[in-house]
Amino acid sequence: MDEGISLDDVYGLMSSDYRHRTILYPAQNIYQDNKIWHFTAMEIGEPGDINAPYHALICMPEGKITNPYYIIFFRDKLVMGDAWFDWETATKIEKLLWTTESTD
């Protein structure tokens, strides 16, 4: 995924089936340091909330739930990066962004 693409354009590239397998999580902060992603959840926010400075669009795999997950990261609704995660890591990221914890 190219950096700078808007969230709306990313959605526009997806088939409806693929889009139905995504969840957009708001975040207070997302950054990468030495190839490790760090996240800070919003104090008030829930999946689908577009009013946040950062977002993680978690794309669920087709087929087995334990297949790798693709996550696209946004700053100001523009792609800032993307990565593949194993099921265990992806579910930890999802849990973190649903709470008010931080990896910092």
Q: What is the pLDDT of residue 99?
A: 67
Q: Is residue 31 part of a domain?
A: yes
Q: What is the pLDDT of residue 100?
A: 54
Task: State pTM to two decimals.
Answer: 0.88
Write b or e for each residue in 37-63: b if 16 or more Cβ atoms lie within 10 A of its Cβ, otherwise e: bebbbbeebeeeeeebebbbbbbbeee
- 73 touches 56 (CB < 8 A): yes
Distance CA 58, CA 83 (A): 10
Q: Is residue 13 part of a domain?
A: yes
pLDDT tens-place values along the chain, 104 residues long: 899 999 999 999 999 999 999 999 999 999 999 989 998 988 877 788 888 999 999 999 988 878 999 999 999 999 999 999 999 999 999 888 886 554 55
Cβ neighbour number for residue 104 with a 10 Å cutoff:
8
Range of the domain at 36: 7-71+84-98
Count how many residues are written for the chain.
104
Total domains in the chain come to 1
